[in-house]
Structure 1
Amino acid sequence: MNLYAFGKGLVKTVLSPLYRFEIIGAENFPKEGGILLCSNHIHALDPPVVGMTAPRTVHFMAKEELFKAPILGPILPKVNAFPVKRGMSDREALRTALKILKNGDVVGLFPEGTRSTDGILKKGLSGAGFFALRGNADVMPCAIIGPYKAFRKVKVVYGEPIRMAPFRERKASVDEVTEAIMSSIQKILDDYTVNK
């Protein structure tokens, strides 16, 4: 068993008794091909939770500072995470992400760039649109909904994939694609947040 699979099982074992996870729409996740997985970001646990619930292995883009942490730092590369400088203007990170997508794998990122302290979806960084257009990949929007309070429900909702071919054909801008991604995440939040 590789470390990613072990970590996925460990996260599930540790977190599942604490939070009541409800996974919705996992069947929407394409079974093959490059996918850019974009989620809102409300808690430090979001990356392991998305990794635990996604039906495919996810290569997470994570802020550079985490790779310098004493315990977490050495583990991150072994669970398919790779560093990015804040603002997503890191050329090495760009090359890494594009290579993963073009190899037909999944890159996970949080387009807001940082956690939302009030749970309201923030403006997405243009890096999300860049990867979606240049990476020969479609986009899987995801929303994490919940208070992350003990024994309360946390929903992880996967929406319908956003096909990038029409955007590429009409030479859409990076900002337009980023807005489309954020609108899809917002729609999931709107559809599932209130009494659903």
Structure 2
Amino acid sequence: MSFYSFAKSVVYGILKPIYRMEVIGKENFPKDGGVLLCANHIHNFDPPIVGIVAPRTIHFMAKEELFSVPILGKLLPHLNAFPVKRGMSDREALRKGLKVLKEGKVLGLFPEGTRSKTGELGKGLAGAGFFALRTDAEVVPCAIIGPYKAFSKLKVVYGKPIDMQRLRETKASPEETTEVIMNEIRLLIEAHKKNV
């Protein structure tokens, strides 16, 4: 068993009794090939929650500061996370992300770049659009919905892969492409926020 699989089972065992997790749309998650998984960001637990319920191993872009945190910083590389400087202008992180996608793996990122203080969906950074346009990866929107209160329901919703063909053919900008991705996440949140 890999360290990632071991950590996934441990974290699942810890968080499952606390949150009533409901996963919707797992059938929308491509079984193979490069996948760009884009989710909203409402809580520090978003990465582990998405990681433990996803059907495939995720390589997360994580803010550089986390790699300086004692213990956590040492664990993150073993959990397939790699650092990115704030603002998404980190060329090394962009190269690493492209490599992950071109190798047919799953790259997970939170396009807002930081956690929403209000819980409302914020503006996405151009990085998501950059990855979507520069690779043939399937782009899967993901909505995390819930108050993160003990014993309350927490939903993780995967939408259908976004059709990127027109955006790629018309040479849309990364900013325009990110807006399309964020809108899909917004639609998922609106469609599933009831009964939470």
TM value normalised by structure 2: 0.98
Aligned equivalent of 1:64? 64
Aligned equivalent of 2:164? 164
Counterpart check, 1:107 vs 2:98: no
Aligned equivalent of 2:184? 184
Aligned equivalent of 1:142? 142
Counterpart check, 1:55 vs 2:55: yes
SS in structure 2 of the partner of residue 61 of structure 1: strand
Unaligned runs of 5+ in 2: none
Whole-Å separation in 2 of the counterparts to 1:170 and 1:88: 23
1:16-165 pair list within 5 angstroms: 16-165=16-165
SS in structure 2 of the partner of residue 65 of structure 1: helix
How far is the alpha carbon of 1:136 from its aligned partner? 2.2
Moved over 3 A (4+): none
Question: How many equivalent residue pairs?
Answer: 196
Unaligned runs of 5+ in 1: none
SS in structure 1 of the partner of residue 156 of structure 2: strand
SS in structure 2 of the partner of residue 101 of structure 1: helix
Aligned equivalent of 2:5? 5
Whole-Å separation in 2 of the counterparts to 1:99 and 1:166: 23
Whole-Å separation in 1 of the counterparts to 2:135 and 2:81: 17
Whole-Å separation in 2 of the counterparts to 1:71 and 1:130: 32
Whole-Å separation in 2 of the counterparts to 1:87 and 1:16: 33
Identity %: 65
Whole-Å separation in 1 of the counterparts to 2:39 and 2:179: 13
How far is the alpha carbon of 1:175 from its aligned partner? 1.4
The RMSD of aligned alpha carbons is 0.9
How far is the alpha carbon of 1:27 from its aligned partner? 0.8
Whole-Å separation in 2 of the counterparts to 1:116 and 1:181: 17
TM value normalised by structure 1: 0.98
Residue by residue, what CA displacement relative to the aligned partner does 1:38-89 show, whole Å, maximum 9, x if unpaired? 0000000000000011111100000001011111001000010000000111
Higher mean C-alpha displacement, 183-192 vs 132-141: 132-141
Q: Residue type of the partner of 2:168?
A: R
Q: Residue type of the partner of 1:29?
A: F
How far is the alpha carbon of 1:3 from its aligned partner? 0.8
Whole-Å separation in 2 of the counterparts to 1:181 and 1:36: 11
